[in-house]
Amino acid sequence: MKHRLFREQQLNCDIETAWKFFSSSNNLSEITPKNMGFIVLTQMENDEIYEGMLIDYYISPLLGIKMKWQTEITHVDFQKRFIDFQRKGPYKLWNHHHEFIPNEHGVLMKDTIDYELPMGFLGEIAHSLFVKKKLEYIFDYRFRVLSRLF
């Protein structure tokens, strides 16, 4: 079964600052809870994302078990939106749409994540018991960190 997580946050900065921060995988560790063991393996030289770009990570989402995760940037609309899609990792489907909307207060950032767990019925039980709560925890953490940064 497919699930959706949606979040939005007002950032007190200009679109150039927001885009530069969020389009750089080098900043992901800063907005991910430390207990997730999130490590970006792909080093970006100029912080510019592009369609087809592959980004590799290590993450420990459960019980400290280290997993490799790879996302592909499948769409880039400069300073407006980009999409990262899981190529390899813990989900059957992970499609994360980032949107940035300039307004009179700065930039409204929207995250829409469509995801599905593997293992059918067992994956749905895991979703109910802990995966949904874990994702909410991660994005609540991001909200707090971004509130301080922006």
Residue 79, phi-psi category: left (phi > 0), alpha (psi -120 to 50), beta (remainder): left
pTM, to two decimals: 0.92
Closest CA relative to residue 90, chosen from 67, 73, 113: 67
| Model pLDDT for residues 9-28, shown as the tens digit of each residue | 999 999 999 999 999 988 88
| Model pLDDT for residues 96-150, shown as the tens digit of each residue | 999 999 999 999 999 999 999 999 999 999 999 999 999 999 999 999 999 999 9
| Model pLDDT for residues 23-73, shown as the tens digit of each residue | 998 888 999 999 999 999 988 777 789 999 999 999 987 777 899 999 999
Domains identified in the chain, total number: 1
